[in-house]
Copies of this chain bind each other. A is one copy, B any other.
């Protein structure tokens, strides 16, 4: 299944920045980063359960937000890009603290 995962993690506090790094690590382990906080994942349902379990253990549900979209079949036809396309490099982005 093709999944789109987006996140907002509070980065005001050191704890928040740690959570951000941990969330990004989980997403990087399982998917393709396409924007700073947007990942595309091609995973089976069991793996998605594992990912969600890991993220549940990391985030602060009162401060952070994760959204998971099941893109369904024919997902390639559902995606359109403008500007940079999938060439996101966190090393060059100041938003990655």
Which residues of A approach B to under 8 Å, CB–CB?
4, 6-8, 11-12, 34-38, 52, 55-56, 59-72, 77-85, 88, 93-95
Contacts and interface: CB of A to CB of B under 8 A. Distances in A.
A80 B69 CA distance: 6
B94 A82 contact: no
Q: Which residue of A6, A11, A67, A85 has the most chain B CB atoms within 10 A of its CB atom?
A: A67
A57 B88 CA distance: 21
Copy total for this chain: 2
Contact of A82 (B12, B65, B83): B65
B88 A67 contact: no
Query: Which secondary structure characterizes the binding site on chain A?
Result: mixed
Contacts of A38: 6, 8, 38, 67
Contact of A11 (B6, B61, B77, B94): B94
